[in-house]
Amino acid sequence: MGKKSLSILMAMMVFFTFGFAPVQAITTSESVSAATMKASQSLISMTEEREIEVTADLGYSADLSKLQWTFGGKPLDQWKQWDPSAKKYSGSPYITFSEPPAYIDGTTKIKAKLKFSLLYGTEDVSPRSLRTLYPALIGTYELAVKDPAKGQAANVPLKLNVYDEYLKWDEIKPAIDKISKEAINGRYVSYQTLGSSSEGRPMHFMVLAKDKASVDQYLNQIAQQKLENPAELKKKMANGQLKNYKVPIWINNIHPDESPGVDAIVELYRIFATEKSKSFKTADNQGREKETSINIDKALDNVIFLFNFTQNPDGRVYNTRQNANGFDLNRDNTYQTQIETQNLAKGLSKWLPVSLLDFHGFYDEFVIEPCTPPHNQNYEYDLLMDGMVEQAEQMGKAGIANTKYDSYLIPLKDWPNKFDDATPSYTSTFSMFHGAMGHTVEIPDLNAESYKALVNAGLGAAKYVSENKQELFRNQLDIYERGILGKDDRATDKWFVNPEGEEIGRDRKGNKSFFPDYYVIPVDKKLQKNVLEAHKMADYLIRNGIKVSQSSKTIKAGKQTYPKGSYVIDMKQAKRGFVNAVLYDGEDLSDWEEMYAEVVNSFHDLRGFTRMEVRSANAFAKGLQPVKKVTAPKTEVKEKADSYVVKNSSNEAVKAVNKLLRMKAPVQQLTAGGKGYAAGDYVISGKELGLVKDSYYLDLMSYDKKGKTKVLKQPKVFSTGSAASKYVLKELGFEIAKSENEADVVVDDAGLAAKALIQTGKPYIGIGSSSLNFAEKENLLPGFDYSTTTGSRASHEGLLWTDVSAGQMMTSGYAKKEKLYIATGSYIKAVPKDAAILAKVANQPNFFISGWWPKHEVLQGQTIAFTKGNITLFANDITNKAHPQYSYRLLANSIYAAMK
């Protein structure tokens, strides 16, 4: 079901369960000018009980007992609270008279007091079961009183909201514009966008500074120099030459259904743009409450405020955590499969904030990072923590002093583990690789109180950064300088501990430095298994502010010769930690009890390109040219032929084949190998090649017409389960069926397929633990057995060495030894008789490369993929978060193989 359809369905559900839908500016034809109504306030909150005094004058004295009171066109007694057991609005009365209607002595004025209870029986509507309900009821309704005898009526509009400050998507930009118009003269406010969302909505972004000159100075003189020559900036700071400089604070939201975050950012923009100073409460070092304030003019002498109101505009429209493609963007900040995270990466690379706050919810406690161990070893953690803990303290103190909350938690101080920052995929942890103190801030409730906690936490952070600008800026420069000098400072080691809390330091594997001197990504086909992915990785790094060069000549480093054109990343650069985080093999964190999210990045393995680690100082001191923009390679047609073999070596081949099939163009697939080609490769004519060669990068050879082929038919694929699988299938160009019945093939990663259809012979491809559980529970394959292990926050995951049954149609394009990824903690213990095994975990001691999978020794030699009859099962997670793109062809191969 599409997002828009879901919104319509929600509105219909409200109509049928509550008996009405929100009515905007209702008018009553019976009203006359003499009839008036007033209310003591115009706002009603779903999360706060309120009494509203109303006065009405119909122009005469009517019989009070006969008057009809309505809200939104419905009698008051038809407004009911939500009944969670019945799952409809049929509970206790929502609107009652706390003071019944009565005439004010000697007048025709009627006075009454209405009580609006808690619509959902709670002040906190953070449970997902409630978050999906309240948006459909937000709106302006007419409170009306009518005399049925004469038809006379009076009314007044009241706005019903989840809490007063909540802004729907289409209200955010007008609110921003209004604040900008009211900004104090002289303050610089600039509306920009970070880009557009998946559905094309703007990512609203505001820059607030003392003046334009401050912004120009920072962007044109300081930001780039931070990355190029931080030592010079430190010298200028020390001798007083660096004057009037500002440092950026970035305030962010990524989960817009955690709605107070968005609204708090709007309020912080209002405060900093329109007020001269702001008083708020905090606490001293002994915990005693005290008054404090932030002088905003003085703060603007030190900081530039950056407001990213929500990183997920589409999610605000549909009130979902995910974007319109169904992705949790807070797990995509390094993967950057989605346009929203790509846009954020560009923004952070431009601004390089000293501090980033990412507003979230919901926890039982008011939680403010920094995190518990294990920490990602690519951080300069000692420098980040020199300020990050204290900033969290100031945020927490302000958050609780101005609300009903009486405590806050800093995981690093208050929890032993289970709230780690080993993954760089969260917005906050991702920003730390750009030199920011990155804080995820988790509020307890979805209501006005948590909104206030975020606003005041933001005030506390702004005051802290403003008052400690020089120290925090120097720490950031030190982070960059370590990278440029290639210094692996042992001061970081104390932060990297084992589960017992013992220092283990960075895992240098016997090397002098944790970091290599260079990474090389060759583009020559003799060294590179996926030329296009090599170029895409270079583009990715540039998007993230990484310096990438290309060799202008062949260079020999050690025993390896690197051809001209190879991409070279010199690790002596400011953000070398980020480079290493996505290009090193990763860590085995299996000793830990729990991890919060996936820790395997390893782009070279999960995206399927060749990268080489070089540990030889100055190996590429000469012969490099900086790359500012990557030009994608073009398909090379070396010789003219009647027919061509398109090697099944990349996702581009699958996309090209599916495009041709959609165009009803003939495509054949080789069922047996020949000279230079293999089973599973594709055969197309020269005419068909002309239709796709300019759109896709293809690995070609002329066809000698000696192989055996089958005619490919365009498969209709039905995907049941994750948004990631649906997204991947669309990305690969498969035709998506609307139902299982009309599909040629069913792809399932949720265990939701129809057993009866499979038993009739419908081709079924199951991915991950849910599908394995479904196959076992429904006894689809006698003799099949599997095992799974999971953690409480995320399933066990691992990047593993595997033995692939190469040479088969379903494993076409893969070698006998491959690194494959599992994310749902599963493996196949027994395969049915006569099943064809596609891949096994390698039967070798070092099969586990990286990830988090306690007691993974049981995996050694176990099956992870097989096929029998119309059923193919994968334990490895082919589509997980659209990151393991090297595995996509296993899915495509299986789909094509199912087409008899």
Q: Are 564 and 554 in contact (CB under 8 A)?
A: yes
List the catalytic residue out of 123, 369, 442, 797: 442
**What is the per-residue pLDDT for 27?**
38
pLDDT band at 881 (very low <50, low <70, confident <90, very high): very high
The tens digit of pLDDT for each residue in 611-623 reads 999 999 999 999 9
Q: Tell me, what's the pLDDT at 795?
A: 81
Residues 272-294: tens digit of each pLDDT: 999 999 999 999 988 899 999 99
- Which among 617, 656, 595 has a CA at the least distance from the CA of 823? 595
Please determine, for residue 7, whether its predicted confidence score (pLDDT) is greater than 50: no
Which of the four pLDDT bands, split at 50, 70 and 90, describes residue 900? confident
Nearest CA to 871 out of 712, 729, 745 is that of 745
- The band of 33, judged by pLDDT with boundaries at 50, 70 and 90, is low
What is the rounded CA–CA span in Å between residue 883 and residue 273? 40
Q: Which two tokens stand for residue 830?
A: 């027994």
Q: Could you tell me the CATH number of the domain that includes residue 368?
A: 3.40.630.10
Residue 507 lies inside a defined structural domain of this protein: no
Model confidence at 21, pLDDT cuts 50, 70, 90, reads very low
Is pLDDT at 406 greater than 90 in this prediction? yes
Distance CA(360)–CA(760), nearest Å, equals 47
SS (H, E, C) 560-607: EEECCCCEEEECCCCCHHHHHHHHCCCCECCCCCCCCCCCCCCHHHHH
| 603 and 662 within one domain | no
H helices within 647-719, ranges in order?
Answer: 651-662, 686-692
Gap between the Cα atoms of 707 and 683, Å rounded: 10
Q: CA–CA separation, 531 vs 527, rounded Å?
A: 9
Q: What is the C-alpha to C-alpha distance for residues 321 and 550, in angstroms, rounded to an integer? A: 40
Distances in whole angstroms, Cα of residue 718 to Cα of each of 721, 727, 744, 845: 10, 12, 8, 39
Residues 537 and 602 in one domain: yes
Let me know whether 82 and 151 are in one domain.
Answer: yes
Q: Same domain for 451 and 378? A: yes
Residue 256: asked if its preceding bond is cis (omega within 30°), the reply is no
C-alpha distance from residue 600 to each of 530, 769, 841 (Å): 20, 18, 17
How far, CA to CA in Å, does 347 sit from each of 308, 341, 344, 465, 626?
10, 10, 5, 20, 21
Closest CA to 707 of 635, 663, 647, 639: 647
Model confidence at 28, pLDDT cuts 50, 70, 90, reads: very low
Handedness of CA 550, 552, 553, 555 (dihedral sign): negative
Instruction: Give the span between the Cα atoms of 481 and 468, in whole angstroms.
Output: 20
Instruction: Confirm if 71 and 168 have CB atoms less than 8 A apart.
Output: no
pLDDT in tens, 888-898: 999 999 999 99
Statement: residue 880 has pLDDT above 50: yes
Q: pTM for this one?
A: 0.95
> Residue 352's pLDDT is what?
98
Percent of the chain with pLDDT strictly greater than 70: 96
One-letter amino acid for residue 498 of the chain: N
Higher per-residue pLDDT: 23 or 537: 537
Residue 229 lies in a domain: yes
Alpha-carbon dihedral of residues 486, 489, 495, 499, nearest 10 degrees? 80
The answer on 687 and 571 residing in a single domain is no
Confidence of residue 791 (pLDDT cuts 50, 70, 90): low
Which residues are bridge partners to 555 per DSSP? 562
Q: Does residue 91 sit in helix, strand or coil?
A: coil
pLDDT band at 18 (very low <50, low <70, confident <90, very high): low
Q: Are residues 649 and 616 in the same domain?
A: no
Q: For 134-177, what is the HEC assignment?
A: HHHHCEEEEEEEEECCCCEEEEEEEEEECCCCCCCHHHHHHHHH
CB–CB of 428/370 below 8 Å? no
The two structure tokens encoding residue 648: 């099944």
Q: How deeply is 36 buried, as exposed, middle or buried, from its count of CB atoms within 10 A (0-12, 13-18, 19+)?
A: middle
Q: Is residue 175 part of a domain?
A: no
* Rounded alpha-carbon distances, angstroms, from residue 843 to 337, 479, 785, 835, 858: 33, 42, 19, 20, 11
Structure tokens at 715: 């498969």
Question: What are 532-573's pLDDT values in tens digits?
Answer: 999 999 999 999 999 999 999 999 888 889 999 999 999 999
Is residue 5 pLDDT above 60, yes or no?
A: no
Out of 684, 711, 738, pick the residue that ends a domain.
711
Which conformational region is residue 591 in: left (phi greater than 0), alpha (psi within -120 to 50 degrees), or beta? alpha
- Domain end, chosen from 686, 711, 736, is at 711
- Among 564, 504, 575, 586, CA closest to 540: 575
User: What's the pLDDT at 792?
Assistant: 54
Residue 26 pLDDT exceeds 50: no
Assigned domain for 632 exists:
no
Read off the pLDDT of each residue in 325-341 and give the average, rounded to a whole number: 98
Verify that 741 and 778 share a domain, yes or no: yes
122 alpha-carbon distance from chain centroid: 29
Q: Is the pLDDT of residue 179 over 90?
A: yes
**CA separation, residue 164 to residues 41, 137, 451, 541, 639 (Å):** 11, 14, 10, 43, 69
Q: Do residues 872 and 765 make contact, with C-beta atoms less than 8 angstroms apart?
A: yes
Give the separation between CA 44 and CA 166, rounded to whole angstroms: 12
Residue 151's pLDDT band (cuts 50, 70, 90): very high
For 748-779, the three-class secondary structure string (H helix, E strand, C coil) is ECCCCCCHHHHHCCCCEEEEHHHHHHHHHHCC
Q: Is 799 helix (H, G, I), strand (E, B) or coil?
A: strand
CA dist., res. 565 & res. 523, Å (int) = 7
Specify if 497 maps to a domain. no
The answer to whether 837 and 783 are in contact (CB under 8 A) is no
Residue 19 has pLDDT above 90, yes or no: no
Token pair in block for residue 338: 């989605």
Q: Which two tokens stand for residue 189?
A: 């406010």
pLDDT at 405 over 90: yes
Where a domain ends, among 484, 500, 534?
A: 484
pLDDT tier, 790 (very low <50, low <70, confident <90, very high otherwise): confident
Average pLDDT over residues 215-244: 95
Question: In whole angstroms, how far apart are CA 149 and each of 64, 69, 196?
Answer: 11, 14, 56
Q: Is 22's pLDDT higher than 90?
A: no
Query: Is residue 759 pLDDT above 50, yes or no?
Result: yes
User: Domain check: are 140 and 270 in the same one?
Assistant: no
> Please, which pLDDT band fits residue 34 given cuts at 50, 70 and 90?
confident
> In whole angstroms, what is the distance from residue 772 CA to residue 765 CA?
10
* Cβ within 8 Å of residue 500, ≥6 positions away: none
Q: Is the pLDDT of residue 32 over 50?
A: no
pLDDT value, residue 841: 98
- 121/225 same-domain check: no
Q: Is residue 183 part of a domain?
A: no
Beta carbons within 10 angstroms of residue 853's beta carbon? 24
Nearest Cα to 198, choosing from 110, 317, 85, 21? 317
User: By the 8 A CB rule, do 471 and 387 touch?
Assistant: yes
The residues facing 53 across adjacent strands are 113
Cα-only R_g, the chain? 31
What is the overall mean pLDDT for the chain?
94
Q: What CA–CA distance (Å, rounded) separates 778 from 769? A: 14
pLDDT band at 39; cut points 50, 70, 90: very high
- Residue indicated by tokens 């969670």: 84
Nearest of 11, 647, 17 to residue 319 by alpha carbon? 11
Does 7 share its domain with 122? yes
**Do the beta carbons of residue 503 and residue 493 sit within 8 Å?**
yes
Q: Per-residue DSSP letters for 605-642?
A: IIII---EEE--TTTTSSSEEEESSPPPP-----S--S
pLDDT for residue 2: 47
What is the DSSP code (8-state) at residue 835?
Answer: P
Residue with tokens 């008036």: 36
Tell me the two tokens of residue 145. 């009183």
CATH code of residue 82? 2.60.40.10
pLDDT, tens only, 127-145: 999 999 999 999 999 999 9
pLDDT at 677 over 50: yes
* Nearest alpha-carbon partner for 650 in 710, 732, 726: 732
CB-CB contact of 524 with 538 (8 Å): no
Catalytic (active site) residue 442? yes
Instruction: Say whether both 152 and 50 belong to one domain.
Output: yes
Residue pLDDT, tens place only, 439-474 = 999 999 999 999 999 999 999 999 999 999 999 999
DSSP 262: H
469/587 same-domain check = no
Strand partners for 39: 54
Query: Kind and range of the H or E element at 813?
Result: none
Q: Based on the structure, what is the number of domains in the chain? A: 5
Q: Note down the domain range covering 682.
A: 643-711
Q: Is 509 inside any structural domain?
A: no
Tokens standing for 260? 């107070």
SS3 276: coil
Q: Is residue 737 part of a domain?
A: yes
Q: How far apart are CA 105 and CA 57, in angstroms?
A: 13
Strand partners, 43: 159
Task: Give the up-direction half-sphere exposure of residue 504: CA atoms within 13 A in the CB hemisphere.
Answer: 17
pLDDT one-digit tens code per residue, 476-496? 999 999 999 999 999 999 999
What is the CB neighbour count within 10 angstroms for residue 236?
Answer: 15
CA distance 369 to 295: 26
Predicted confidence (pLDDT) at residue 731 exceeds the cutoff of 60:
yes
What CATH number should be reported for the domain holding residue 723? Answer: 3.40.50.880
Instruction: Give per-residue burial for 494-517: e unless 16+ CB within 10 Å, then b.
Output: ebbbeeeeeeeebeeeeeeebbbb
Closest C-alpha to 255, from 199, 175, 311: 311
